[in-house]
Chains A and B, each alone.
Chain A
Amino acid sequence: MTAALAHYLDVATRFQAAPEQASAPQWLKRLRADALSHFERQGLPTTRDEAWKYSRLGSIAEGTFLPRTEAPRDTAHLSAVVERLGLPGPRLVFVDGRLAPELSSVAGLPRGLTLKPLRDAVREDGELLESLLGQRALAKEHAFTALNAALLEEGALLRLAPGALSEVPVQLVFLTRGDAPVLSSPRILVVAEESSEATLVETYASAGPAGSAATFTNAVTEVTLGDNASLHHYKVQVEADAALHLGALHARQGRDSRFASHAFAFGGAMARNEVHAAFAGEGGDATLNGLYVGQGAQHLDNRTALDHAVPRCTSRELYKGVLDGQSRGTFHGLIRVRQDAQRTDSRQQNRNLLLSESAQADAKPQLEIFADDVKCAHGAAVGRLDAQALFYLRSRGVPQAEAERLLTYAFAREVVEAVPAGPVRANIEALLALKLPGAAQREVTA
């Protein structure tokens, strides 16, 4: 056993044995204990594991991260950060993996929507949680999902009653302060009942000064969409340079349901984002989009898995990467079309723009098609800025850095503009503007 595995086992064992957990419901104790044994059996993945071939675990594998055992204090000064990242509407804010009630507010929650901290849901919605937690994200198949479940305590429940409609986005903000090597393990559960529709934004950011300690976020989101339900899900990850981030979203889609996932990965030394969508009823529609923008030594890893298990479902995937410095981006997209899934219509595209000689992009589409009456297309491309276009812009007086920025944005905007116009898109545009190469330069010259 590696020292790191021993460390995480020790962390989880102590968490589960802590006196304040004695009063936890039996089903939760069992879920955590089972997850711990799944984690122990699987161990930490290495690059020898196919699914982790391109992921550099970095200091996750050194095992120094610890969960916060106390509620966060002195969070008032973080409200400015929350305002900058925040959207108008109800939100829950977590600091170093723990709920920060004074930064959170569920005021203005539309009728038919329930948003509550997972701790409250454990008390108040035990039956629902027991029946759904761990059903989409399987601890027995994913080591880090098992670790998340073994430490399951914080997070949120978003529940949409049948027919409930929300125009306002619901936001979950996860901040890390970087004053200690903190491990956060949020679990988010979304239950959208028949014909409901809502927008959920998960934002992951750092609140500490530059040069703060590395933090490790290991987030799991489970989504259950009822028949004809619709969820617009946004993940905006803008953590600090030193942050390590693993996120896995698993959605199960009922008949005629619509699921749109937009994943923006701008931050972190190593960030891996997984999105899994499984069709459980005919007529479902899934859109999986992503934009990853790396510089320095960032390593941004994206994985998608679509399970076309039933006929007549549609999926569209567009992932784009912008990679500068020595950064590395990967995209691995699995599309499985099972034997029964006739009339599947699936399209996947991954495109990468390399801005430096040493940046690197790897694309790995993986199609497993067992039905015969299907439409499946995929494409992957890696390119550089067009020298002709660059000269054209410069010959009109646009300075090189600004010309590169214009062309880079031109490449990335397709993913941004797939977000319907409104506060969510404006928020993403602003964060992207700060992230694109040359952002600082333009401010100086302006």
Chain B
Amino acid sequence: MALLTVRNLHARVAGKDILKGIDLEVAPGEVHAIMGPNGSGKSTLASVLAGRDGYEVTQGEVLFDGKPLLELSPEARAAAGVFLAFQYPVEIPGVGNIHFLRTALNAQRRSKGLEELDAMDFLQLAKEKSKLVQLDAAFMNRSVNEGFSGGEKKRNEIFQMAVLEPLLAILDETDSGLDIDALRTVAGGVNALRSPERGMVLITHYQRLLDYIVPDKVHVMSAGRIVRSGGRELALELEQKGYGWLGLDGAKASAAEARR
């Protein structure tokens, strides 16, 4: 059974139709990449899946692990195993990174009927997982993302994913703005979390990421639809020819920009 099934999904934001019939199926163990020009609706799809307010689903359905996903609150989706690494992680002054993450993990554990982790056990776990993305212990004691550099924020997202161990991870441009060393680190972290039961959706503009995290499938999104799907060779082809090659109007400029 597929882990995630998206069928004919239509969604609008602020009265504007953004998603215009998305179909997507992710099986356990698979890594899918979604590419596509700026404004094509990639983050909107991620937001709808994670349950952000303000998005109206006008048609279609989403099944997660065989059960309807869209009726769940964001926290219930997280507890079910959905994780979204934000394109722009939010700074939350005054909320300690480690305290927040323990609260999140324990809330998820509670909802699964598992015992909560005490502060010591959690710290041990956090320490272990932080090595995966080489996030310095000092970051754990700071407020969530406050004053973190772009790369540190992205590493913090992957660190949280490693602690929460979701079934489905949606990474929205986790590679954007990373220098090559940071990209390697983050990709290494993600690869370490690949497993037969876990599915991943990578939203990216860059083939470069896919050199490190090799996808099973690649999709191209344009104007709210998936217009092309294929294997990893599709990403390579896009890299060479740009979106114009797919006959996407007005997409050339942004594709060129994206490759820069």
* Shortest beta-carbon distance from A201 to chain B in Å: 25
Contact at B53–A406, with CB atoms within 8 Å? Answer: no
Contact at A445–B110, with CB atoms within 8 Å? Answer: yes
Tell me which of A391, A409, A446 contacts B52 (CB under 8 A): A391
Contact at A394–B110, with CB atoms within 8 Å? Answer: no
* Shortest beta-carbon distance from B49 to chain A in Å: 10
- Give the secondary structure class of A's interface: helix
Q: Within 8 Å CB of B101, what residues of A?
A: 396
Contact at B94–A413, with CB atoms within 8 Å? Answer: yes
The stretch that binds A, out of B5-13, B71-79, B121-129, B211-219, is B71-79
Which 9 A-B residue pairs are closest in the complex by CB-CB distance?
A: A410-B94, A397-B78, A394-B74, A396-B104, A397-B108, A392-B90, A397-B104, A410-B95, A389-B92
Given contacts A387-B53, A406-B103, A410-B93, contact A395 B108 (CB under 8 A): no
> In B160-215, which residues have CB < 8 Å from any A CB?
160, 164
* Shortest beta-carbon distance from A381 to chain B in Å: 14
Tell me which of A393, A397, A399, A402 contacts B92 (CB under 8 A): A393
Contact at A396–B164, with CB atoms within 8 Å? Answer: yes
Contact at A397–B100, with CB atoms within 8 Å? Answer: no
In the complex, A427 has a CB within 8 A of chain B: no
Contact at A395–B50, with CB atoms within 8 Å? Answer: yes
Contact at A392–B164, with CB atoms within 8 Å? Answer: no
CA distance A376 to B203 in the complex (A): 50
Most chain A CB within a 10 A radius of its CB, from B50, B90, B110: B90
Residues of B within 8 A of A (CB): 50-53, 73-75, 77-79, 83-84, 86, 89-90, 92-95, 99-101, 103-105, 107-108, 110-111, 116, 143-144, 160, 164
Q: Within 8 Å CB of B94, what residues of A?
A: 407, 409-411, 413-414
* Shortest beta-carbon distance from B105 to chain A in Å: 7
CA distance A394 to B111 in the complex (A): 14
Chain A contact patch, size range: 20 to 34
Residue of A nearest to B51 (CB): A395
In the complex, A339 has a CB within 8 A of chain B: no
> In A86-138, which residues have CB < 8 Å from any B CB?
none
> In A395-446, which residues have CB < 8 Å from any B CB?
395-400, 402-403, 406-407, 409-411, 413-414, 445-446
Q: Within 8 Å CB of A399, what residues of B?
A: 75, 107
Contact at A394–B95, with CB atoms within 8 Å? Answer: no
Contact at B73–A394, with CB atoms within 8 Å? Answer: yes
Q: Within 8 Å CB of B90, what residues of A?
A: 386, 388-389, 391-392
CA distance A315 to B51 in the complex (A): 47
Residue of A nearest to B111 (CB): A397
CA distance A406 to B103 in the complex (A): 9
Residue of B nearest to A396 (CB): B104
Q: Within 8 Å CB of A407, what residues of B?
A: 92, 94-95
Q: Can you offer 30 A-B residue contacts whose CB atoms are under 8 A?
A: A389-B92, A391-B53, A391-B74, A392-B86, A393-B95, A393-B104, A394-B51, A394-B73, A394-B74, A395-B50, A395-B77, A395-B83, A396-B100, A396-B160, A396-B164, A397-B75, A397-B104, A397-B105, A398-B100, A400-B73, A402-B107, A403-B75, A406-B95, A406-B99, A407-B94, A409-B94, A409-B95, A410-B94, A410-B95, A446-B110
